[in-house]
Chain A
Amino acid sequence: MENLNLILPEIFISLSIMFLLVLGVFKKNSSKITFNLSLFAILITAIITINETFSVTRETLFNQSVVIDSMSSLMKIITLTGGFLVLVISSTYLKTFKIYNIEYPVLILSSILGMMVMISSNDLIVFYMGLELQSLALYVLATYNRDQLKSSEAGLKYFVLSALSSGLLLYGCSLVYGFSGSTNFDIISNQLNSEEYVLTFGIVFILVGLAFKISAVPFHMWAPDVYEGSPTTVTLFFTIVPKVAALTVFIRFLYVPFLNLIDQWQMIIVFLSIASMVFGAVAAIGQTNIKRLIAYSSIGHIGYTLAGLATASNEGIQSSIIYISIYVVMNLALFSCLLMLRRKDQYFEDIDDLSGLSKNHPLLSLCLLLILFSLAGIPPLAGFFAKFYVFKAVLEQSMYFLAIVGLLSTVVAAFYYLRIIKIMYFDKEKDKYDTDHSLWLKFSLTVSTILILLYFIFPSQLAEVVSRINII
């Protein structure tokens, strides 16, 4: 008999989704209670997951198709925390657009469920199942503000392109299955015969599918449009949570079954990484919409995360995980600022709307200043340490070209972050924005900014948690 305790978080969250759906159907005006209950559900799931972390080192379930280890626990906790905070700061925004409905929390919960399955997957089928569950929920979320043309466009675009990439991914999976005789990661790695060149095709197809999900160049085309069109809170969700899950799958996929084929995939990852870093930095310069800019900036940040993955070492994996954790905090902070740019029930998302913000809202602009410098990777803020760990791992493998290109593109990227700071601090002020923000929004901004600012005092804590992750 399998030890079902290990997948208790997943079971609990599925039951909650069904219950909430039923509740929403049978009870009128139940938006508020659904929101609160789903927050509660995420909280309990997180507690169960944390509890599990202490008792388990590495366990597999269901014919080794699901794996619970320190990486899956950590990534699940990040996913759940991200999801919780996204839900909690969404409500004002959704109410403004009159889309404060029960579907929103249920969809977020289902995509979180999909991601948790992805994170734990040790089998191509399980992984694909999780991926599709989260993608389907995300398609709907992207078009959630359906009265707006842009939102519908975003959802449709995302759906079409994502379906294409899922197709490629599935084709890759079938090739891998054909040549290794199994869909299980562990078995594949044992059966692997590196002479099979067609297997490389399989890997490449799967990598393309995954690169699409984390919007790495050259599979990034959807990101700016979808980020701009989706409701801001959904964009926030897009920028942080699915990336964590996709990165975990990326790590597991590359390092468990295909570690021996490193010669085949390392160059691909290096290319994806360099292309994303450079393109993300250069393309963001001309943007006028903050959400589009964040899309390009997140493409760049994914490039740095991939740089850590390209090293094929435990240090590299750990540095990527540290990077993505700090990236989640920074993006959360950035979007909290963005959600505060509200005047009389209207949200502003152009860079010019930030003009002279420092005169009217000194504290908000100070936070934004710190966040932007941190995103640019200037010490002593958290963003610097994220990059520092990645480049430390990259240089350990003597990949000098990757390190130098990466660091030079941080200089280019610094330019567009500085441009926002310039507009905030050096330009003429506009009208004041509303200041009656919800407590949660203020809370998430304050906490994330303090984390960014004071990370340098306790840099070892995160590193220590991550150092337990040893995939190789």
Chain B
Amino acid sequence: MNFPILSSLILLPIVGALFLFFTKDKEGNNLTAKYVALFTTVVNFLISIYLWISFDQSTSSFQFVEDRVWIEGFINYKVGVDGISILFIILTTFITPICIISVNNSVKNRLRDFLIAILIMESFMIGVFCALDLVVFYLFFEAGLIPMFLIIGIWGGERRVYSAFKFFLYTLLGSVLMLVAIISIYWITGTTDVVQLYEIGIDVKYQNLLWLAFFSSFAVKTPMWPVHTWLPDAHVEAPTAGSVLLAAILLKMAGYGFIRFSLGLFPVASEVFTPLIYTLSVIAIIFTSLIALMQEDMKKLIAYSSVAHMGFVTLGIFTLQQQGIEGSIIQMISHGLVSAALFLTVGVVYDRMHSRLISTYGGLVSVIPKYSILFMLFALASLGLPGTSGFIGEFLILMGAFKDNFLVAVIASIGVILGAAYMLWLYKRVVFGKLINEDLKKMLDLNRSEYFILSCLAAPILFFGFYPDPLINTIEVSVTDLINMHNTNIASK
């Protein structure tokens, strides 16, 4: 038995949280707690990097698999990674320390509890991405609701109670149907082990209903139009670190779920429902981009842009083309980095001016130039400028879409233009123009820690924009294999 590296990734944040739980909470800026949390997450990040280095890219089978009996004769605790999930794990372990560094000003009280919530959240998210048993997956998927509910509700803005409830109930409502589907799968096939299910396959006559049940959960979490309305509320009211976690990682759980479960387990149903996904994705892309254009609140604008970007992701996944799925995965990673960065940049000005309204700002470039440059980079990455990671994802998705359905691809391309419109307009109104608001003159440029975390995010955005090979190499074999499996399944039925 090898060293259980995935379980230690899951458990380490909980150990850190337990350690924090037994330390005393101090008022104000509790540096000790912050260092403990930071240390835990950085170690976790290093472990995940080690995981990536020792990961064998030439095979699509699951690696680092741990299989333990959990409920006798029923559920095994089974975790493992393949090329698709490993990137999400690294994204999680990378974003969490950044969140922890960023909690300087946004969290005024009960910092220790906040850090505990973030650490527990991290461990659940890693669990989601490496679970290879449907019940274990569901467990982690749902358990994440508890810390996120508290993060939004305790440390959020004015309408936090409403947003926290909306977030929790929406997601729970979506997920219960998935639970019904999971138990039904157990009774149909006799196992909930994903690897075995890939081999056995599920009878075609059940697939459509099961697919819809999984869809109801993932659609809410993605979020897809028309069940996206919880997202802007949750994003706007959550503290900056919470928004970052939500946008960067929580939304990716659903995209990951679509690839791993909807495509993998229900190939026939996925073909059947592709038109539905296309329609909803295209509506999401165009409609929410238009909504984003009209927003006056910066965080809300970015939240709507997330919905649009996730529309691209779902579109790409269900093209069922190599490029489309690879593009979706890269788009998710890229969106994880970019949306995190954008929320942090909004957090920076919010900490200084306590306003998220676009109209408060204007002409920032002459006051805080460093900030403006980084903000520009992230805005351009968000609209998918070549040379940033956003471009690679969107380009591959559109390529896959053109292969599959010309009309959908054309409409989605219009979405790219709209994306450029709202992002550039936002940038113009905030950074350029005349400096009217006198208070802005007193603003300080980025301090050291803000500069550090924003650069940390900028580096991979640029690096993968110019050189996406490491990402593509990691996922390539797994995606090819997924598509092959899909095609053989379709052909045999």
- Could you say which of B153, B173, B179 has the most chain A C-beta atoms within 10 Å of its C-beta? B179
- Interface presence of A380 (CB below 8 A): yes
- Interface presence of B176 (CB below 8 A): yes
Apart from A426-B164, A460-B71, 5 more pairs, CB < 8 Å: A384-B139, A403-B183, A407-B176, A407-B179, A411-B173
With A396-B187, A426-B153 in contact, is A459–B180 under 8 Å at CB? no
CB contacts (< 8 Å) of B135 on chain A: these are: 388
A12 to B165 alpha-carbon distance, docked (Å): 52
- Could you say which of B72, B176, B180 has the most chain A C-beta atoms within 10 Å of its C-beta? B176
Cβ B173 vs Cβ A408 within 8 A: yes
A460 to B68 alpha-carbon distance, docked (Å): 13
B283-309, CB < 8 A from A: none
- Interface presence of B34 (CB below 8 A): no
CB contacts (< 8 Å) of B154 on chain A: these are: 425-426
With A396-B187, A414-B168 in contact, is A407–B180 under 8 Å at CB? yes
B165's partner among A396, A400, A418, A459 (CB-CB below 8 A) is A418
What are some 22 contacts across the A-B interface (CB < 8 A)? Answer: A378-B142, A378-B143, A378-B146, A379-B139, A379-B143, A380-B139, A384-B139, A400-B184, A403-B180, A403-B183, A407-B176, A407-B179, A408-B176, A410-B172, A411-B172, A411-B173, A414-B168, A418-B149, A418-B169, A426-B161, A456-B139, A459-B71
With A391-B183, A400-B180, A425-B154 in contact, is A415–B169 under 8 Å at CB? yes
Q: A409 — nearest CB in chain B belongs to which residue? A: B176
9 nearest A-B residue pairs (beta carbon): A407-B176, A379-B139, A395-B183, A460-B72, A379-B142, A411-B173, A379-B143, A459-B71, A426-B153
Cβ B145 vs Cβ A378 within 8 A: yes
A380 to B135 alpha-carbon distance, docked (Å): 11
- Interface presence of B177 (CB below 8 A): yes
Q: How many residues of B contact A (CB 8 A)?
A: 30
A464 to B158 alpha-carbon distance, docked (Å): 49
Looking at the assembled complex, report how far the CB atom of B22 sits from the nearest CB atom of chain A, in whole angstroms.
12
Cβ A425 vs Cβ B176 within 8 A: no
- Interface presence of A404 (CB below 8 A): yes
With A411-B176, A415-B169 in contact, is A425–B150 under 8 Å at CB? yes
Cβ B161 vs Cβ A422 within 8 A: yes
Cβ B177 vs Cβ A426 within 8 A: no
A260 to B448 alpha-carbon distance, docked (Å): 77
Cβ A422 vs Cβ B72 within 8 A: no
- Interface presence of A342 (CB below 8 A): no
Looking at the assembled complex, report how far the CB atom of A400 sits from the nearest CB atom of chain B, in whole angstroms.
7
With A392-B183, A404-B180, A407-B176 in contact, is A379–B138 under 8 Å at CB? yes
- Interface presence of A258 (CB below 8 A): no
Cβ A407 vs Cβ B177 within 8 A: yes
CB contacts (< 8 Å) of A410 on chain B: these are: 172, 176
Looking at the assembled complex, report how far the CB atom of A332 sits from the nearest CB atom of chain B, in whole angstroms.
22
Cβ A422 vs Cβ B176 within 8 A: no
Q: A387 — nearest CB in chain B belongs to which residue? A: B179
- Interface presence of B228 (CB below 8 A): no
A464 to B169 alpha-carbon distance, docked (Å): 34
CB contacts (< 8 Å) of B184 on chain A: these are: 395, 400
- Could you say which of B71, B138, B142 has the most chain A C-beta atoms within 10 Å of its C-beta? B71
CB contacts (< 8 Å) of A373 on chain B: these are: 146
Cβ A414 vs Cβ B71 within 8 A: no
Looking at the assembled complex, report how far the CB atom of B160 sits from the nearest CB atom of chain A, in whole angstroms.
7
B176-228, CB < 8 A from A: 176-177, 179-180, 183-184, 186-187
A460 to B145 alpha-carbon distance, docked (Å): 25
